Each structure stands twice: as C-alpha cells, then as structure tokens.
Structure 1
Amino acid sequence: MPVRKVCIVGAGVAGLYIATILDSLEIPGLSYDILESSDRVGGRMYTHKFSDAPHDYYDIGAMRYPCIKIMDRTFDLFERMELPLINYYLDSDLTPSLFNDRFKSDEKDPYNVGVGKGGQVPDAVVDSVSKLLGDAFNPYKALLKADFKNGMEELTKVDELSTREFLRCGGPDGKGPRYDFSPSSGWKR
C-alpha cells in the first residue's frame, strides 16, 4: 500500500473533525499533519477564564451549539474528544439581561438606545426598527407559540439567512418588510 500524507489546515472544529474521521477510517499508509497558526486548538471555540472561581469566564466566539440535526457532527466531535458540555439557558426568570450596562425590559426600546431613554439613536428610528422587527419576526413567534414543532420547521427554512439578510431581502419569499442598511438610507424602511 502506498504511503499517503494529508495536510489539514487549521485545528478548529472542522480540522479536528477531519482528523477524527481519518483516524476512524484506519486507511493503511495514511498519515496526516495538522497545521495551526495559533498556539492552541479549537479555533473560534474558546473560553477565557479570568480566575479559577466558578462562573468567572467569558466565552469568546462560538459558545452555543443548538442540538439540531445539522450539528450532529459537531456533537459527535465533542463526544469523541470527551469535551465537558454545560447546558446553555438563553433566558429564564432568574437571568437578567444587560446591554450597555442597562437591564433589558420588554418595551419597544428594551436596551434603552433611544434618545428618550438616554441613548444616542433617534426615537423615530427606534420606533421604525421596533415595528419592522415585529412585522418581520412576530409571525415566527406566533407559529412557535401555537405549535413549536411546526414553528421550528418554518424557522429552519430561513436558517441560512442572517437577521440582516432576512431584513434586507424581505424574508424568504421577498414579500416581507425590508430594511435598507446602506449608510445613505438614513435608516429608512
């Protein structure tokens, strides 16, 4: 069997997973090197620990991994590497949300970015964006509330769109509210 050598560029999740696949295939004569430009593995997956005290850390980059079908390989890698995982709770009654050192509320300006609340964004822009976001995303919220499984199926159909792209193009069919992000737009709809 001829000797074959493979070069894997990057020791992030993808590079490490490729290495585990190659290991599992047990191809005779195959070896690989992983080239990594930084001094650690993991790529965008990184937790900075300020001290050894509990909860004294900050997740930098990728930190939340939803347990959905498309992430099966990532979770397989976590299992193979015996990485300790903790549940991530996006929201609970005990979890305060802060933005710019202010507690989030359920109002139309929950992060207090409008001029009327001491922020720097004109209140008319906050009102416009609040309405636009509601028009764009409230249908998905209603679907999730009415039938979570069906709501998730509908939400998954637009999973490849970032929020910005979703709003720029008017949703998956182009019929929804659109938002012009160009600097010359003056933040107009």
Structure 2
Amino acid sequence: MTDRVRLSKRMSRALRHDPARIGVELDAEGWTAVDALVAALGVTRAEVEDVVRNGTKQRYELDGDRIRARYGHSLPGRVELPVADPPSVLFHGTSPTTAGAVRREGLRPMGRQFVHLSSDEATARRVGARHGGTPVVLAVDAAAAAASGVVFRHGNDDTWLADAIGPEFLSAR
C-alpha cells in the first residue's frame, strides 16, 4: 500500500466517520481547517493536497483553508452537493446475502448519508465484491427514478448519490 493510500484512509476516517478520534471538528457541511487536519494527522499540507489532487476517487474537496470529504459520511449532518441529472442507467453492487432485501425494499443509505451508485458496471462489481463473495450488480433506471422525483447528486466521476431508490427502478444484471 502506498503512502498516499495510507494517508487517504486516515483522512477518510477523520473526515467521513470519526473526527473526534483525532480531535478534529467538522462544521455542519463537513468542513474543517486544513491546518487542524494536518496537525492532527502529523503530516504536511503538501501531503494532504497530494491526496486531494491525485486520489483515484476524488473523495476530498479543498476550498481555501478548508477541507472536507465529498461523500460517504456516516456522521450526523449532511454534506450537500449540487443536484445533477444522472445518466439514464447507473449501477449498484451488493453482496448476495443482501441482494434479495434490496430487490424487495430498494436501496437505502443505511449508515451513510446517501445511497452510492456507480456510473459503470465494473465499478459496481468492485464495490460489491468488498462485501465478500461474488457480487450482485443491479442496474438502476436512473432516468425513470429522476422523472419520478428521486434527486441525484454527482459525488465524483464514478459515484452518484441519492437519498433512496425504490425497487421498481432496479433490475439484476
């Protein structure tokens, strides 16, 4: 594992899941001072900026002297990202043990702020494989969901976010 990946994982925990563990406070939209994060992690600003600039998943956002994770939070509060029109089809990878419940009940954010969707099937397959076993990939009729009022937000090049997706918009791949 590279130093950049290690630091990204540490930043993720601090900015998405457990800022108190390292003594960092986030505002209502998930922002904290870059200097506070740098000091708490014992790294340089240049190293943090390198993760933001060169990370493969565009997880972080810098705004002057502030930084936040763009998506994936399990903390209270909500990071608001701009509403965007999704592609006509998106994908969600899940484990075989939860696929049945998802088909019946739809996609819910569970412990996160949003449901995470992938713009391509291969990414969804990789995400679903993290849960163990052969992943189940579901296609999401995002065009129909958006037409029915589901709000989509663009997390990064590969990730789309929604509050929930009803089962009527899901089909197995």
Higher percent of residues as strand: 2
Q: Structure 1 length normalisation: TM-score?
A: 0.24
Q: Which has the larger radius of gyration?
A: 1
- Highest RCO, 1 vs 2 (Cα 8 Å, sep ≥ 6): 2
